[in-house]
Amino acid sequence: MAESGFQPLPRGALEPSAQELASLVNEFYEASGGGDLGSMGETDAGVVFQGDGDPLEAAAIVLETVRLVAQERNGLSFRLNTLGLCDQETIELLLASEELEREQQGDRRRESRIASVSVFLPSACPSKYDELLAPSSGRGLRDACGFVARLAEAGVNVECSAVARPDVNVAEVETLAMSLGARSFRTRSWVK
């Protein structure tokens, strides 16, 4: 984390606002030479929402950040890394944002938006999932699967990932992810 320049917020610190996050994105692009995105944003990998906590815990702030950045940087794409353990209201908020984006693309420009959602699935076995992730609020693998299926059904580009731990059958996780409608699957290496 030190090489990225990012560090967790100190305990008790307030979470950043959408305006603060949008300013950080713009500052980064300005500091890196103005952020040459190409004519339609095709040469930029975009911005990833991820952290010590799940970005969907602050879904409204994430979506407002994307909206604010789009005002200055057309074509910048965003990826959201999540566990997918959120309530229906959050899922609907995310999907409403995607639907609004599709409606606004009448001029066929590439708009700034959440281009993909990556969902971490530590195991395809519910008890192993709970052991590895220790989710709260009574949520678990079933909720993450419902999240992946709902987004995939709505046409969102969903990728799932798992860590190649010795005690996890990654092939089962990939099969599960693809059966839920994920467009891709990524295996991350195990580092003990």
Residue 113: strand pairing partners: 77
What pLDDT is stored for residue 170 in this prediction?
Answer: 97
pLDDT of 190 > 50? The answer is yes
Give the whole-angstrom CA distance, residue 113 versus residue 78.
6
Report the C-alpha gap between 182 and 148 in whole angstroms.
Answer: 7
User: At the fourth CATH level, which superfamily is domain 16-188?
Assistant: Aldolase class I (3.20.20.70)
pLDDT for 174 = 98
Q: What is the mean pLDDT of the chain?
A: 84
Quick check: 180 pLDDT over 60?
Answer: yes
Position 76 scores a pLDDT of 81
Of 85 and 4, which is predicted with more confidence? Answer: 85
Using CA of residue 53, residue 183, residue 178, residue 187, what is the dihedral sign?
A: negative
The end-to-end CA distance of the chain, in Å, is 17
What number is the average pLDDT over the span 44-67? Answer: 86
**pLDDT tens-digit profile of 83-100?**
999 888 888 888 887 655
Contact 75, 41 (CB under 8 A): yes
Give me the pLDDT at residue 38, please: 47
Read off the pLDDT of each residue in 183-189 and give the average, rounded to a whole number.
95
**Measured between alpha carbons, how far is 18 from 22 in angstroms, rounded to an integer?**
6
Quote the longest CA-to-CA distance of the chain: 49
And the tokens for 29? 């692009």
Residue 143's nearest CA partner among 164, 129, 157 is 129
pLDDT digits (tens, 9 = 90+) for 142-158: 999 999 999 999 888 99
Q: Residues near 176 by Cβ (< 8 Å), separated by ≥ 6?
A: 121, 124, 145
What is the pairing mode between strands 47-49 and 113-120? unpaired
CB 85 within 8 A of CB 36: no
The mean pLDDT value for 60-66 works out to 91
Burial class (CB in 10 A: 0-12, 13-18, 19+), 88: exposed
* Residue 109 confidence (pLDDT): 39
Residue 74 pLDDT greater than 50, yes or no: yes
User: Which pLDDT belongs to residue 3?
Assistant: 58
Give tens-digit pLDDT for 97-125.
765 555 544 443 345 578 889 999 999 99
Q: Which residue has the higher pLDDT, 35 or 123?
A: 123
